[in-house]
């Protein structure tokens, strides 16, 4: 496979992204104090060291993030350093482990009775908690989404809150999930339930203005993992917020080849550009609340941009690479510079590039200074039938992203990494994070995804010696996540 254009003059596999830092850097270590590289195959589970919430952060920690954003928050720097350390260990041939992640489709859990493994609506966080039901353990990473909405007109929110009450319609049907998604992120980062700390929903139960009650899953009451957010944004100017309006085939771009260029025409201040900024302000208002409480977010906007054409992807997919890069940079500058959000790590994740569904993504790369993490959404092949004769499952994507020199994540997959067909995935392709998409964690769903994960496969993943799981206290996490809570 050809190297990305921006890297063709460089080796395919570079040296580790982050060199070992001076004392105070976040590293993984065994419970006996040895580094992961020194541990035997049956090594004890990892913990973050030096431990202790509130520890002062060394100046060198997260230096790659600081190079992009000199104002990056301490927690964001600690998370970036953790991912860089995992990546460095993997490149050195001594994997420090893979954080096992779970995407939560909050809108489907709360409103779609045909979603999941039984008929009926579910509390937000159902598939976060489902991992415990199967394995006794929690994911170490949870991703939510403010989009795409659930068929309502215009953006809205649930309860009137400090960050949204005067900006968006509140107590509107179909929007409570946005509150719950943000609260789930806070719950995972800070623990749940937890003492009052100025955030919403800390006690464990919240009465909502629509008469419903939100009860998020208990995760031990202490720091329980990492959090992220994708944004399935309906096309700018869409009057209805729903998943079908995220698709390119339903956007103005399906019939008007000049529409997308107008969306990114900030110099011309087009109506389409102003509509884009309105959507980004909805995202920013929620991220601003998380920033105020120093919750670091792995933000994954405008993913799967490398669909072959408009008929196969989202409204930002299959566009001219320069226009896509402009979209990414507009988003970056708005969030970081205009809104002053310094709790973000930006993740760029094309869809699997084998021609079905995606093509080579390299020309879409937004640029070194706009990206912290690279990854792939892998919906090609299956554990039983990997793409390519004789190929190691997911390895073409793992190797293909190596040249960027950044932490690599498997951002979306229907499959857990360790299963009866592929028992050695975490050693052969040690992604820093592997995230399972929504209901695909379970096999017996009303509308099943393919391939289905058996309970035995899910348990094999969470019990694997290279899996880094979440939670605190009784959940037996593989990581002391409080080690990331620095100042």
- 387 versus 29: the higher-pLDDT residue is 387
**pLDDT the model gives residue 53:** 61
Tokens of 373: 């993490």
What is the model's pTM?
0.91
pLDDT of 392 over the 80 cut: yes
Measure the CA–CA gap between 247 and 311, rounded to whole angstroms. 8
| Residue 27 · residue 479 · CB < 8 Å | no
Region 382-408: mean pLDDT is 87
The pLDDT confidence band at residue 19, using thresholds 50, 70 and 90, is very low
* Least confident interval from 30-44, 364-378, 459-473: 30-44
Residue 190, class by beta-carbon neighbours within 10 Å (0-12 exposed, 13-18 middle, 19+ buried)? buried
Which residues lie across from 98 on neighbouring strands?
A: 467
Highest mean pLDDT among 196-205, 247-256, 390-399: 247-256
Tokens of 47: 């913990």
Q: Report the SS3 class of residue 145.
A: strand
**pLDDT the model gives residue 354:** 83
Helices and strands: H and E segment counts in the chain? 11, 15
Measure the CA–CA gap between 354 and 345, rounded to whole angstroms. 27
Measure the CA–CA gap between 155 and 170, rounded to whole angstroms. 10
* Least confident interval from 9-23, 31-45, 126-140: 9-23
Backbone angles phi, psi at 471, to 5 degrees: 90, 180
pLDDT of 222 over the 80 cut: yes
DSSP-derived pairing of the beta strands 467-468 and 297-300: unpaired
**pLDDT the model gives residue 157:** 96
pLDDT of 112 over the 90 cut: yes
Residue 196, class by beta-carbon neighbours within 10 Å (0-12 exposed, 13-18 middle, 19+ buried)? exposed
pLDDT of 470 over the 80 cut: yes
**pLDDT the model gives residue 386:** 77
Q: Which helix (H) or strand (E) holds 297?
A: strand 297-300
Residue 154, class by beta-carbon neighbours within 10 Å (0-12 exposed, 13-18 middle, 19+ buried)? middle
Tokens of 190: 């800070």
Tens digit of each residue's pLDDT (9 = 90 or more) over 156-177: 999 999 999 999 999 989 999 9
The pLDDT confidence band at residue 52, using thresholds 50, 70 and 90, is low
**pLDDT the model gives residue 309:** 87
CA neighbours within 13 Å on the CB side: how many for 452?
Answer: 12
**pLDDT the model gives residue 51:** 45
**pLDDT the model gives residue 385:** 76
What average pLDDT does the structure give for the chain? 88
The pLDDT confidence band at residue 30, using thresholds 50, 70 and 90, is very low
pLDDT of 93 over the 80 cut: yes
Region 251-269: mean pLDDT is 97
Q: Report the SS3 class of residue 205.
A: strand
Region 10-36: mean pLDDT is 33
DSSP-derived secondary structure for 230-253 = E--PPPTT-SEESGGGTBGGGSGG
* Least confident interval from 35-39, 284-288, 405-409: 35-39
- The position carrying tokens 């994911």 is 139
Q: Report the SS3 class of residue 119.
A: coil
pLDDT of 11 over the 90 cut: no
Angle, CA of 141, 245 and 331, to the nearest 5°? 55
Measure the CA–CA gap between 36 and 48, rounded to whole angstroms. 11
pLDDT of 46 over the 90 cut: no
Q: Report the SS3 class of residue 363.
A: helix
Measure the CA–CA gap between 355 and 107, rounded to whole angstroms. 30
The pLDDT confidence band at residue 204, using thresholds 50, 70 and 90, is confident
Region 313-326: mean pLDDT is 97
pLDDT of 21 over the 50 cut: no
| Residue 104 · residue 97 · CB < 8 Å | no
Residues with Cβ within 8 Å of residue 159, at least 6 apart in sequence: 170, 171, 176, 179, 200, 206, 208, 209
Measure the CA–CA gap between 470 and 462, rounded to whole angstroms. 10
Which residues lie across from 378 on neighbouring strands?
A: 413
- 80 versus 16: the higher-pLDDT residue is 80
Region 283-311: mean pLDDT is 96
| Residue 348 · residue 375 · CB < 8 Å | yes
Tokens of 158: 């649930």
Measure the CA–CA gap between 431 and 290, rounded to whole angstroms. 26
**pLDDT the model gives residue 452:** 78
Measure the CA–CA gap between 51 and 47, rounded to whole angstroms. 8
Measure the CA–CA gap between 383 and 410, rounded to whole angstroms. 14
Backbone angles phi, psi at 346, to 5 degrees: -95, 125
Which residues lie across from 320 on neighbouring strands?
A: none
Q: What percent of the chain is modeled with pLDDT above 70?
A: 88
Backbone angles phi, psi at 11, to 5 degrees: -60, 155
Tens digit of each residue's pLDDT (9 = 90 or more) over 334-370: 999 999 999 999 999 999 998 778 999 999 999 999 9
**pLDDT the model gives residue 9:** 29
| Residue 62 · residue 81 · CB < 8 Å | yes
| Residue 305 · residue 364 · CB < 8 Å | yes
């Amino acid at each position: 496979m050809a190297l990305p254009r921006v890297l063709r003059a460089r080796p395919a596999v570079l040296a580790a992204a982050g060199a070992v830092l001076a004392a105070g850097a976040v590293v993984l270590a065994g419970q006996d104090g040895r580094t992961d590289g020194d541990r035997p195959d049956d090594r004890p589970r990892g913990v973050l060291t030096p431990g202790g919430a509130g520890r002062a952060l060394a100046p060198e920690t997260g230096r790659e993030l600081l190079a992009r954003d000199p104002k990056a928050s301490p927690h964001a720097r600690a998370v970036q350093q953790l991912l860089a350390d995992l990546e460095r260990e993997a490149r050195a041939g001594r994997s420090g482990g893979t954080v096992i992640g779970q995407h939560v489709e909050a809108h489907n859990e709360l409103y779609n009775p045909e979603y999941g493994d039984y008929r009926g609506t579910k509390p937000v966080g159902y598939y976060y908690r489902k991992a415990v039901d199967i394995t006794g353990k929690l994911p170490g990473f949870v991703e939510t989404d403010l989009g795409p909405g659930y068929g309502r007109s215009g953006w809205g929110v649930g309860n009137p809150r400090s960050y949204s009450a005067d900006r968006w319609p509140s107590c509107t049907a179909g929007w409570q999930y946005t509150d719950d998604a943000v609260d789930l992120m806070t719950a995972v980062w800070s623990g749940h339930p937890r003492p009052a700390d100025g955030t919403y929903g800390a006690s464990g139960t919240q009465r909502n203005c629509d008469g419903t009650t939100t009860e998020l899953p208990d995760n031990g009451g202490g720091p329980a993992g990492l959090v992220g957010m994708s944004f399935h944004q309906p096309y700018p100017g869409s009057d209805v917020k729903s998943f079908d309006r995220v698709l390119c085939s339903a956007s103005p771009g399906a019939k008007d080849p000049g529409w997308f260029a107008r969306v990114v025409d900030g110099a011309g201040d087009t109506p389409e550009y102003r509509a884009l900024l309105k959507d980004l302000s909805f995202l920013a208002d929620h991220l601003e609340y998380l920033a105020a409480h120093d919750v670091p977010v792995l933000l994954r906007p405008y993913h799967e941009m490398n669909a072959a054409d408009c008929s196969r992807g989202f409204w930002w997919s299959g566009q001219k690479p320069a226009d896509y890069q402009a979209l990414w940079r507009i988003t970056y500058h708005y969030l970081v510079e205009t809104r002053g959000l310094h709790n973000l790590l930006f993740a760029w994740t094309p869809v699997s590039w084998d021609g079905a569904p995606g093509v080579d993504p390299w020309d879409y790369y937004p640029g070194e200074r706009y990206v912290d993490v690279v990854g792939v959404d892998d919906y090609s092949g299956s554990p039983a039938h990997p793409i390519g004769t004789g190929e190691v499952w997911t390895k073409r994507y793992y190797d293909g992203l190596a040249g960027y020199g950044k932490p690599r994540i498997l951002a979306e997959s229907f499959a857990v990494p360790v299963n009866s067909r592929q028992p050695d995935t975490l050693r052969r392709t040690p992604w820093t994070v592997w995230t399972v998409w929504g209901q695909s964690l379970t096999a017996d769903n009303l509308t099943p995804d393919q391939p289905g994960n058996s309970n035995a496969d899910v348990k094999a993943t969470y019990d694997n010696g290279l899996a880094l799981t979440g939670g605190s206290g009784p959940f037996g996490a593989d990581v002391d996540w409080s080690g990331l809570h620095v100042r």
